[in-house]
Every structure is written in structure tokens, then in C-alpha cells.
Amino acid sequence: MEDPSLTFTIPKKQSRERLDIYLANQLPNLSRNQIQIAIKQGLVTVDDETVKPGYILHPNQIIKIKTEKRDPPEILPEAIPLDICYEDEYLLVINKPPDMVVHPAAGNYSGTLVNALLGHTDEMNVFDNIDRPGIVHRIDKDTSGLLVVAKNEIILARLAEQFSKKTALRRYHAFIWGSPKKRSGRIDSPVGRSVRDRKIMAVTESGKKAVTYYQTLEIFPLISYIELKLETGRTHQIRVHMRSIGHPVFGDQTYDGRGTQLGGRNQHDLAFARELLEMMPRQALHAKTLGFVHPATGRELYLDSELPEDMALLKKRLEEEKEIRNKEKE
């Protein structure tokens, strides 16, 4: 049996480019380092010849990448407790805790929200795509908050349409470094794969349209507490957008939310910032509010959730520090 492979034909108008860079742009799910390793292992050929990662490509050449066909592990039901905010015969809304991956993927085939859903009800077995049964939208592993899950294909399609047409309401609460000059604003900047690091996202001209609205709720020492509303739902949109305006989400390990904001601080502020970072090992971002029209009943559903324990404790500590500093000014 012939090995399966990916094939790319270099366009006639393709400019001179290294093989590894070209493939990194074509395969955004792989890092450039992973691609270089595959090339060195002989898994990549150009015109049926093995070459080096720095090989310069020419028009009409054919790249082949040998791939190993593997069946993914079976997705099994697991008895994982779920914080269910609403449930009926058609759908359920879950308040996802931080540290839980939404759907199985390489390296995460257990302990996910999908495993928990399969363990919660047999109704999820009706879906053709068992990897993502009923999943309408997702939030990052280290982001907490509300998610709606459909129980059949028709409800899934109708909910997905609301999210696609931007009629579903999604509001997030977050703590960010510093305080925006304008207490409220609209960020309209395209988001796509970072040119420098394909594993993360960035504001880039080649990205897809992304719009985020923010409103400052309270200003604390070093940090502000804000509400955000999404018009679009790009990967890591809030985190990328807040970094792009100089106010990354507090605690965000990927998008400058840890340590990069400490330069030039006095000793008191440094100690306070480090204390807060110890309290918040993840990005301080929570999908607090979710609103949509029930696809079966036509009734508007509006659900709100409390801040998770770690963010609630962070807020309490910030309130204490703010009160202390205000008294010192009197």
C-alpha cells in the first residue's frame, strides 16, 4: 500500500523562498522547527529528491510530504463533574472551569469537555463528528466561562447560524494590565497566524476581520477590570486585541501578560504585581454572559455566571489594595 502524502506544486509566480518557510506558511498547525525536523528526516522531497530545510524553491516544483496514517484514539465517556447552568432536551449551557480543554486533539484525548459530555448523557452519541459532538463554539483551555452545547444536529446548525450571523451575545470579563486612555472603545484589527511564530495569533494584515468592544468597569492599582463584547470570534481574539493596544490580559503566558509589564516599577508595585501573578497562573479572562434565541422554542435565553474563584479572589485583593492606597493619599 502506498504511503499517504501531502503534495504542493509551487506556483509559476512564486518568489524565491526557503522550503521550510514556505511549508510553515502552508501548514499553520506545525511549527517551523517541526517542519525542519521532518525535512532532515527525509519525509519531505522536492521533485522526488531529499533536500535541506534552506533549499530555495523554484516555480512548478512539486513538494511531497510523507504522512503516517493513524486512527485517533477512541473518545470515551468520563465521569467528570459539570457546572450546568441550563439544560433541556435540546441543549445545555455549561460553565467551563479553567484548565479544561473543550474538544479532544493530539495530546488531549481525555479529561476534555467532550469526554465529560459523553459521560453526562447518551444523547451526545447522535453526532457524526464524535470529536466535537454538539460543540457550537469554544473557549481556550485557560479561559473559564459559558458554552452552549447542542444535543442534535438540527439544534447545532441553528445555533451555529446565530453565532455566524453575530446575533448571539457573548460578554467576557477580564483583568488587564494598566488602564486604556479611553474607558470604552472598539478594536477593529484583523487577526491571523503570527508571521514570527505560527503557533500563536497576532494582529496582521493577512488575518481575518476581528472586532472587539471593551468597557472599563473599574481601575485598580496596576490593573483594570473590564467587560468585553465580541462581534467576531477569532482564535485568541480578546487576548491578541488587548495586547495590540498595550493592555494585555493579566496573567496571559502567551500574549505578554506575565512579567513584561514590570519594567520601571517601584519596589512596592513590583512586590504587589508578583503577589497578584502568583494568585493568577492563567489569563484572567472569563466568558461571563451568553445570550441567544432557543432554536426549538424561540424563547430568548440570557445566562450570566459568577467570576470563578481565582478571579474573584484577585478582584478582592485589588479592592483591598485600592482602599489602602486611597487612605494613604488622605
Residue 1: the pLDDT is: 31
Q: What is the pLDDT of residue 291?
A: 96
Residues 199 and 327 reside in one and the same domain: yes
- In this structure, the strands spanning 144-150 and 285-293 are parallel
Residue 81: per-residue pLDDT: 93
Task: Select which of 20, 140, 142, 252 is catalytic.
Answer: 140
CATH number for the domain that contains residue 228: 3.30.2350.10
Q: What is the CATH number of the domain that holds 53?
A: 3.10.290.10
Among the candidates 165, 180, 201, a domain finishes at 165
pLDDT, tens only, 118-169: 899 887 777 766 667 888 888 989 999 999 999 998 999 999 999 888 899 9
Both 182 and 319 in one domain: the answer is yes
In a domain, 197, yes or no: yes
Is 300 among the domain residues?
A: no
Write out the residue range of the structural domain in which residue 174 sits: 166-291+311-330
Closest CA to 159 of 295, 289, 301, 296: 295
- Residue 149 and residue 180 in one domain: no
Task: Indicate the number of domains in the chain.
Answer: 3
What's the pLDDT tens digit per position in 229-243? 999 889 999 999 999
CB 180 within 8 A of CB 116: no
pTM (predicted TM-score)? 0.77
pLDDT at 123: 78
37/186 same-domain check: no
CA within 13 Å, CB half, 47? 8
The answer to the question of residue 37 being in a domain is yes
Give Rg (Cα) of the chain. 23
Query: Which among 138, 165, 192 is the end of a domain?
Result: 165
Asked whether 104 and 112 are in contact (CB, 8 A), the reply is: yes
The position carrying cell 488622605 is 330
Write down the pLDDT at residue 38. Answer: 87
Q: Are residues 315 and 197 in the same domain?
A: yes
Query: What gap in Å lies between CA 283 and CA 291, rounded to an integer?
Result: 23
256 among known catalytic residues = no
Q: What per-residue confidence (pLDDT) applies to 3?
A: 46
State residue 2's pLDDT score. 40
| Predicted pLDDT at 226 | 98
Residue 288, pLDDT score: 98
**What is the SS3 assignment for 89-107?**
CCEEEEEECCCCCCCCECC
Residue ranges of the chain with per-residue pLDDT less than 70? 1-5, 28-29, 68-73, 106-107, 128-131
Examine residue 222 and state whether it is found in any structural domain, yes or no.
Answer: yes
